[in-house]
Amino acid sequence: QQQVKQSPQSLIVQKGGISIINCAYENTAFDYFPWYQQFPGKGPALLIAIRPDVSEKKEGRFTISFNKSAKQFSLHIMDSQPGDSATYFCAANFGNEKLTFGTGTRLTIIP
């Protein structure tokens, strides 16, 4: 199975709060898990990525948590800011296979 299931579809978080987006996969061959951020009218941009040999990766306010046994990974945005309002896509692949994308989460940060 090549699916990557992403939830929630949309998310509203207060400024300063923690935004959490979850993804689950079925293909145990996947070994690369990136997250993309897309602003309206723009192309997605790579935000942060993780490999399954680590359980967590942090870059600034963005953290990926990875649970290999549960086949799940999540994006945490700490101290969420209005500028973080965007659509976020998780993805996965292995080797030379093309990326399989989740369906996206529209994040809105409110004052």
- Which residues sit at the interface with other proteins, rule CB under 8 A? 31-32, 34, 36, 41-46, 49, 51, 89, 93-96, 98-99, 101-104, 106
Nearer to other proteins, 95 or 111 (CB): 95
Smallest gap, in angstroms, from Cβ of residue 16 to other proteins? 26
Work out the number of other CB atoms within 10 angstroms of the CB of residue 95: 8
Work out the number of other CB atoms within 10 angstroms of the CB of residue 80: 23
Smallest gap, in angstroms, from Cβ of residue 40 to other proteins? 10
Smallest gap, in angstroms, from Cβ of residue 70 to other proteins? 21
> Can you give the length of the chain in residues?
111
- What does the DSSP assignment read for 73-102? EEEEESS--GGG-EEEEEEEB-TTPPPEE-
